[in-house]
Amino acid sequence: MAWTRDEQCIRASKELQDGFYVNLGIGMPTLVANHIPDNVNVILQSENGLLGIGAFPADSAVDADLINAGKQTVTATKGASYFSSADSFAMIRGGHIDLSILGALEVSEKGDLANWMIPGKMVKGMGGAMDLVAGVKRVIVLMDHVDKYGKPKLKNECSLPLTGKNVVDRVITELGVFDIVHHGIAIAELAPGITRDEVIAKTEAKII
Signed CA dihedral, 32, 16, 41, 131: sign only: negative
C-alpha 55 chain-centroid distance: 16
CA distance 11 to 178: 12
Q: Which of 47, 106, 109, 174 is catalytic?
A: 47
Strand 21-24's sheet: what is its strand order? 76-82, 50-53, 43-46, 21-24, 99-102, 138-142, 170-172, 176-181, 184-190
- Residue 47 known to be catalytic: yes
133 CB-near residues (< 8 Å, 6+ apart): 100, 102, 113, 139, 163, 164, 167, 168
Residues sharing a CB contact under 8 Å with residue 170, sequence separation 6 or more, in sequence order: 15, 138, 139, 140, 141, 177, 178, 179, 180, 188
Tell me the sheet residues that pair with 113: 107, 164
Collapse the DSSP code of 138 into the 3-class scheme (helix H, G, I; strand E, B; otherwise coil) and give the result: strand
What is the set of active-site residues? 47
